[in-house]
Chain A
Amino acid sequence: MKIYVTGLGLVSAAGKGEEETLETFRTGSRHAGPVTLFSSEISSPVFEVKNFDRHYYSKRLRTVNLCLAAVEDALKDGGLGREIKGLRVGVALGTTVGSILNDLDFYREYRAAGKASMAAVDRYLQGNLASIVHSFIKTEGPAITVVNACASGADAVGIAMSWIKSGLCDLAIAGGADEMNRVPLCGFGSLGILSENLCQPFDAARNGLNLGEGAGVLLLENEKSLRSRGARVRALIRGYGTSNDAHHLTSPDPEGNGLARAITEALQEAEIEASEVSFINAHGTATRDNDLVEGRVLHRLFGTKVPFLSTKGYTGHTLGAAGGLEAAFSILALEEGWIPGSAGFTDGDPEILLAPAAERTFFEGGFALSTSLGFGGCNAALVIERPHEESSVL
């Protein structure tokens, strides 16, 4: 069964929407700086979405607002409004921050006085992504909020695919969202994997990640849904692979076998060989461990001929949003026929055996691979195809 992508919604530091994002990729600009959304002692640069003023709920529910902005854009792109009649619609959304009660003011007050205002709790109870989108679009269909660390967004797309293939829904909204938040900023800092400079994925001198925020959402549907309403096909999700390293809570398996399995599974589902992949959007966080393991796995499976990049040099690490955003970026790249240079990369690391595209790179062929690795040993891979002319509109 084919799974079509008919809408994209994306918000990140690279741009609010496709035009701004492509412009950022064309010019190679990096919109990062010290955190401004809250006061912090941590000086590591972050990639915030500037001037984001689309509020569907309380301004303090930033993850929800980012998510709904991307959902609305994806629906509009797919020619749909908020109410979708006659079709079963699934909602699969990934997040990390958006699922936790982590309001510092609430907790500080509770600790000091043994009681606190319930405003933050009420916001938290309102703010479950899948539930909110499920009622935003008034749908009947499965709904899941996936919290799988940095693989959440990609897993959400994969889950939506599984649902559609199993006949549980005809159409699905899938992707992820996460806001800039103090908890992961402090947390990644304590793990020693935040860089004090702009991140340098796959570079020999890389020394950590920069946090980012955003939302990336795809509209997926089956052929029945597509034919019932006619829509422009932007891409096909041809394969999804997922696995667990069963190794360590925070470090990837140094052999990368879990990632290799996930990629292989995705290629098998897509029924393509590794040699048919035109480019790879790697997870590429710029930590010493991730890039080493991931780079070596890509080398093992694809050799040195397939161009690859990390877009985290343009967006920072957007955690739960990353998989959704990077699937969207891959679709844009397939449409444009080029990938941007891997921002932050200058010098290759001989241990990685591979170097990403340093400049804008045109490619042939119509298959992209997007990979995501998450804490807890989670690996996810998506194979995405550019549609042939004749299947662009059904």
Chain B
Amino acid sequence: MKPLAIEGMGIVCTRGRGLDKFVQALKEGWIEPSLSEEGRMAYRISQADLSDREVLKRARRADRFSRLTVLAAHDAMRDSALKPEDAQKTGVIVATAFGAHGTIFKFLDDIIDYGEKNVSPTTFAHSIHNAAASYIAGVLECKGPTMTITQFHFSFQQALVLAYAWLHEGRADRVLVGVAEECSPAMEYICEEKLSIAADGKMDPLSFSEKPKLVPGEGSVFYLLSLNQERKKYGAFADVVIGRRNPEWNDLGLSVVGAHGMAGSERGYANVLKKGKAVSAYSMIYGGMLTGGGFDCAAAALALKNQELYGAGVLSDTGFCKTENLKAGKEINAVQCVSHGCDGELAFIKIIK
């Protein structure tokens, strides 16, 4: 695989909108999650961070899921300083696990409250998962291929693989690849029933627990990718390995563990990490999301750009080197982000400077 140069990044999560806010969060570490009306904890995005009249003027009807997606994608494009006339052959891939479930539940509300013949067509149109990608295409005038990938495991990793295939074939000259998830009361209830919510609100991803604790999160992060290494701003995605093989890369300055509390036992991570090497995890920053790997890669890319190992807020030290224990000054040339799915499968993403 040829490296996918990261020309720009955009991010919206509970810690705010923008890369500066995300870096600040990586340095500050954990903050207390918010409580819903139903009394459930989650890392939610503030309404203020989802408002932007200028960007969203062509998306006035966009629901929460589409808003957070469009804003992150827009910010990635703006960050790259790509001129609009050069964006025409840009592809768009949105990777998600649960999609716009808040909107789907709203549609079910309509069926229950008003009957099958009086449901809202606007709500239906937004419940189709590719609405967000469609808004991105419209707002940013990307007329290349657009795709939405919905799967519980490795959707971001598969999106990177697809982006590579498109660029390799020349189907697009750039691809906006990103992840998006939202919170909703019903989904928070489901998380409470099926998973272990951290009673004190503190996720502990490096505890490699059999029954990890989480606090659900929401957000979106986007990367503008191309094969043009000269436009590289944050490094490049150098490889994606999905399956049962550990690529065991030798040149890593950091491993980011994608333990987000949503995929069952996290013991397996301990088997793929090397003792004495820098390890960190960031899900306590943005919350538990099956597509959390997308956010981990943002942390990795920023670590490479800024040559800083972020590790604040990581609680457990299980024998691996937490980044705050490392001496500063050693050059970081490559970072890997590791995620595991179910069935013992793993995904490794390597980002290089």
Residues in B with CB closer than 8 Å to A168 are: 161, 165
Asked if A148 meets B146 with Cβ closer than 8 Å, knowing A100-B129, A249-B135, the reply is yes
- Pair count A-B, CB < 8 A: 200
Q: Kindly state whether residue A200 has any CB partner on chain B within 8 Å.
A: no
Contact digits for B129-145, partner A, Cβ 8 Å, 1 yes 0 no? 11101110110011111
Interface SS of A by simple majority: mixed
* B225 CB, min distance to chain A CBs, angstroms: 15
Q: Assess the B119–A244 pair: CB atoms within 8 A.
A: no
Q: How far is the CA of A140 from the CA of B148 in the complex (A)?
A: 22
Within 8 A of B (CB), among A360-394: 374-378
Q: Name, among A41, A130, A249, the residue most crowded by chain B CB atoms within 10 Å (CB to CB).
A: A249
* B200 CB, min distance to chain A CBs, angstroms: 23
Q: Assess the A102–B161 pair: CB atoms within 8 A.
A: no
Q: Kindly state whether residue B306 has any CB partner on chain A within 8 Å.
A: no
Q: How far is the CA of A100 from the CA of B123 in the complex (A)?
A: 14
Q: Assess the B243–A104 pair: CB atoms within 8 A.
A: no
Q: Name, among B92, B105, B130, B343, the residue most crowded by chain A CB atoms within 10 Å (CB to CB).
A: B130
Interface size class of A (residues with CB under 8 A): 35 or more
Point out the residue from B127, B137, B152, B171 that lies within 8 Å of A162, measured CB to CB: B171
Q: Assess the A242–B171 pair: CB atoms within 8 A.
A: yes
Q: Assess the B151–A128 pair: CB atoms within 8 A.
A: yes
Within 8 A of B (CB), among A85-127: 96, 99-102, 104, 107-108, 110-111, 114-115, 118, 121, 125
Q: Assess the B158–A249 pair: CB atoms within 8 A.
A: no
Stretch binding the partner chain, chosen from B67-75, B110-118, B206-214, B253-261: B110-118
Q: Assess the B151–A145 pair: CB atoms within 8 A.
A: yes
Q: Assess the A162–B133 pair: CB atoms within 8 A.
A: no
Number of residues in B with C-beta < 8 Å to the partner? Answer: 65
Q: Kindly state whether residue B121 has any CB partner on chain A within 8 Å.
A: yes
Q: Kindly state whether residue B164 has any CB partner on chain A within 8 Å.
A: yes
Point out the residue from B104, B116, B126, B193 that lies within 8 Å of A118, measured CB to CB: B193
Q: Assess the B165–A42 pair: CB atoms within 8 A.
A: no
Q: Assess the A144–B166 pair: CB atoms within 8 A.
A: no
* A255 CB, min distance to chain B CBs, angstroms: 12
16 additional A-B residue pairs with CB within 8 Å, beyond A114-B38, A144-B158, A377-B146: A118-B190, A118-B193, A125-B152, A142-B161, A143-B158, A145-B151, A165-B168, A182-B116, A183-B127, A184-B124, A190-B117, A190-B120, A243-B144, A243-B145, A374-B130, A378-B146
Enumerate chain A interface residues (CB-CB to B < 8 A): 40-42, 96, 99-102, 104, 107-108, 110-111, 114-115, 118, 121, 125, 128, 130-131, 135, 140, 142-149, 155, 159, 162-163, 165-166, 168, 182-192, 242-250, 258, 261, 265, 374-378
Enumerate chain B interface residues (CB-CB to A < 8 A): 38, 61, 92, 98-99, 101, 104-105, 107-109, 111-112, 115-121, 124-131, 133-135, 137-138, 141-154, 158, 161-162, 164-166, 168-169, 171, 186, 189-190, 193-194, 242-244, 343
A-B residue pairs in contact (CB < 8 Å), sample of 18: A96-B128, A96-B129, A104-B108, A108-B112, A115-B193, A145-B149, A147-B99, A162-B162, A166-B168, A183-B104, A183-B108, A242-B171, A246-B141, A249-B61, A249-B134, A374-B130, A375-B131, A377-B137
The 8 nearest A-B residue pairs measured at CB: A376-B134, A187-B124, A190-B121, A147-B129, A162-B165, A242-B145, A244-B137, A99-B150
